[in-house]
Amino acid sequence: MLKKILCALLALAVLVPFAACNKEPNTDEENNGDNGTPAVQITDSLELLNNVWALYGDDEKFPVAGGDFENANMEGPGKYNIADAESVQAILNFPASEIAKIDDAASLMHMMNANTFTCGVFRTVEGTDVSALVETIKTQVSGTQWMCGFPDKMIIATVGDYILSAYGNGELIDNLKAKLTEAYPTASVVCDQPLA
């Protein structure tokens, strides 16, 4: 009898760590999404971008700056004030005409050349047609008159109520996409196309 109890306890001790490892990060199991997967819980755009940047190894990082003038971060992502719609469009290529459809933003850019790497994350307001907004962002980025170099490609992805838009060097953009889907397995890359 003692042998059976010890075997049961040993089996339980082995299974508990596996059960804990099976939990998804950044999810709320009480609040399932439409497809039965847990809904992603993110505080703001900066948290999303920080979680992605944190997955970069030292050999993958490059000189970056994040945020706007008031929220500047010279070592990673930063919060971007959306009060000036023209600035959001000029710096992050988010259409100024659509600014009312977001209530929060964060950015990460290559410190030497924005066309080498620019990434913006935007939290959409409730009721926003995210698919239509993605198409508007895609049109905005594709129609940009580039100066000082031409970005290779762009991606646009959605994570819950958030849209990530990025363009630049192909390798840097592909690595961003890999880190995003590692940080947020439920992320959906809805646009991945060359710009050249």
Alpha carbon distance, N-terminus to C-terminus of the chain: 73
Structure tokens at 23: 């939990």
> What's the confidence (pLDDT) of residue 38?
55
**Burial class, 80, CB count within 10 angstroms (exposed 0-12 / middle 13-18 / buried 19+):** buried
65-109: per-residue pLDDT in tens?
999 999 999 999 999 999 999 999 999 999 999 999 999 999 999
Prediction pTM value: 0.80
Q: What are the boundaries of each domain within the chain? A: 42-194
Closest CA to 157 of 128, 177, 127: 177
Structure tokens at 59: 């050999």
166-195: per-residue pLDDT in tens?
999 999 999 999 999 999 999 999 999 999
> What's the confidence (pLDDT) of residue 145?
82
> What's the confidence (pLDDT) of residue 39?
63
> What's the confidence (pLDDT) of residue 180?
98
The Cα 4–Cα 9 span in angstroms is 9
DSSP assignments along 61-128, one per residue: ---EEBS-STT-BSSS-EE---S-HHHHHHHH---GGGGGGEEEEEEEEESS-TTTEEEEEEEEPTT-
> What's the confidence (pLDDT) of residue 27?
39
For residue 29, give Cα distances in angstroms to 38, 94, 161: 5, 32, 17
Closest CA to 117 of 52, 184, 37: 52
